[in-house]
Structure 1
């Protein structure tokens, strides 16, 4: 089965379901080095198998979080990050210039898969919470068929899923959804 295109995922009101993710994780998703978004529960059944927009939240990048990811990826605890090895170079660049990561913008789209318990992805992963909220990372939401926009699209986000409408035009196959330029394979 082919993944749905952005055009097929548009709701009757012309919107696409969007998920806000803090940086650097939003960029790691669209650069295909973060295959799961970790949340406290499984995704709603109606969202599974559908294309969603990946939105970078307004929260500024926290250098200490990026440094922690770099240190773990470079060491024996790389598995604890839930990231692919290619994320290391990206995170080193982000550490040197955190202002380069876009905030308050939709960065691309991905197809949301069925949630998987974090311990099924890697034993012990659920207890390695990178959030300050207890029980935040119990389920991995697989993100596949990622399409990165050529340019981030400014947008205000919201918690949970929220309806996003690309400003100035109807979201379509030709609206910046082509193959990601210079993406990291994965």
Structure 2
């Protein structure tokens, strides 16, 4: 399973709010469409972002698991509600599962492969979450 690092507060908004689009300057590689990935909160905050709520202060940790269902270009950003940026690729996200406990990890640019211990910790939480449902 791959991971994608996203700065806060955007990673927290994906995990704990209704943000179901990731804005990127680059098109989603076709091989990742339909893929289940980890959402990693980066080590730094996006200083220009204005998002309020809980769970937005976690850094350098995996915070959620999502499925990327598609990608499209948007000139005006209105297609994806308040979360869509203009002049950006919108990666659509579904099946979001916020992890009960963030899993510490060092991120990277682009899609990256987490260490086995990080994957094991995420999978254990997903198994616990499934059992609780």
- TM-score, structure 1 as length reference: 0.58
Give matches, 1:39-54, under 5 Å. Answer: 39-54=24-39
SS of the residue corresponding to residue 37 of structure 1 reads strand
Structure 2 counterpart of 1:144, from 58, 76, 94: 94
In the alignment, which residue of structure 2 is the partner of 1:176?
125
Question: How far 1:166 sits from its partner (Å)?
Answer: 5.0
Q: RMSD between aligned alpha carbons?
A: 2.8
**Distance between the aligned counterparts of 2:42 and 2:21, measured in 1?**
17
Give SS of 1:114's match.
strand
Q: SS of the counterpart of 1:30?
A: helix
Distance 1:28 1:106 in 2: 13
In terms of fraction of residues, the more strand-rich structure is 2
Q: Kindly state the Cα deviation for residue 28 of structure 1 after the two structures are TM-superposed.
A: 0.3
Partner of 2:78 in structure 1? 122
- Cα distance, 1:118 vs. partner? 2.0
Counterparts of 1:27 and 1:172 in 2: how far apart (Å)?
A: 16
Count of equivalent residues: 125
- Structure 2, unaligned stretches of length 5 or more? none
Counterpart pick for 1:163 among 113, 120, 124:
113
In structure 2, what is the Cα distance between the partners aligned to 1:159 and 1:39? 12
Give the ranges of 4+ consecutive aligned residues of structure 1 lying more than 4 Å apart after TM superposition: none
Partner of 1:23: 8
Indicate yes or no: 2:49 matched with 1:65.
yes
Residue 8 of structure 1 aligns with which residue?
A: none
Structure 1 unpaired stretches of 5+? 1-15, 70-90, 128-137, 182-186
| Pair member with larger Rg | 1
